């Protein structure tokens, strides 16, 4: 009986000791961890400060994203073009390249200036031509509204361009039209 009592007492003391060590050491480790985090310096992580102006387009990434001479990524506001490996993606990129690559363009910003990836959002103009609108009108992009955000400044123009492309079955709207024709022939 004495043996079991001693074992249980020692086991209880051991459990209490482990509990107290764990309980009091968590504060020590939390304090140590916060000091380590405070001493880590971020490596100049800065989001770009979007500015309107005239810039040269150095690279076209796809149908709705380019890299400006400042090195910043610029995404066309209010539209979404197919990705490079999607149907109509290569054509969207090609048209975008023909219009803006290695050219001086005018950047116009709206109320939404950056997306969640840190890309500048806005409109690209070449003289009096709104590139965002041309991509939609040719069927190489669709209107893309960000849920819960204010409507883009040129939404009415983009809607007219999209309606025109849809009525003429251009680009992405060709696929929709073609599938309706196939269904009606069944």
Residues labelled catalytic? 75, 83, 119
HEC secondary structure over 104-148: EEEEECCCCCECCCCCEEEEEEECCEEHHHHHHHCCCCEECCCCC
User: What SS3 state is found at 40?
Assistant: coil
Bridge partners, 120 (sequence order): 74, 114
For 147, 153, 156, the CA distances from 82, given in Å and listed in that order, are 19, 22, 21
């Amino acid at each position: 009986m004495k043996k079991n009592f001693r074992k249980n007492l020692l086991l209880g003391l051991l459990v209490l000791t482990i509990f107290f060590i764990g309980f009091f050491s968590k504060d020590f480790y939390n304090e140590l961890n916060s000091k380590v985090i405070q001493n880590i310096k971020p490596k100049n992580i800065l989001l770009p400060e979007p500015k309107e102006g005239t810039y040269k387009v150095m690279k076209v990434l796809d149908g709705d994203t380019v890299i400006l001479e400042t090195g910043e990524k610029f995404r066309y506001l209010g539209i979404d073009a197919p990705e490079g490996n999607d149907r109509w993606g290569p054509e969207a990129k090609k048209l975008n390249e023909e219009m803006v690559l290695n050219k001086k363009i005018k950047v116009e910003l709206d109320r939404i200036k950056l997306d969640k990836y840190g890309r500048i959002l806005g409109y690209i103009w070449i003289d009096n031509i709104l590139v965002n609108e041309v991509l939609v009108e040719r069927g190489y992009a669709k209107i893309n509204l960000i849920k819960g955000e204010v409507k883009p400044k040129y939404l009415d123009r983009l809607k007219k361009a999209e309606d025109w492309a849809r009525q003429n079955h251009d680009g992405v709207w060709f696929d929709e039209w073609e599938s309706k024709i196939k269904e009606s022939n069944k």
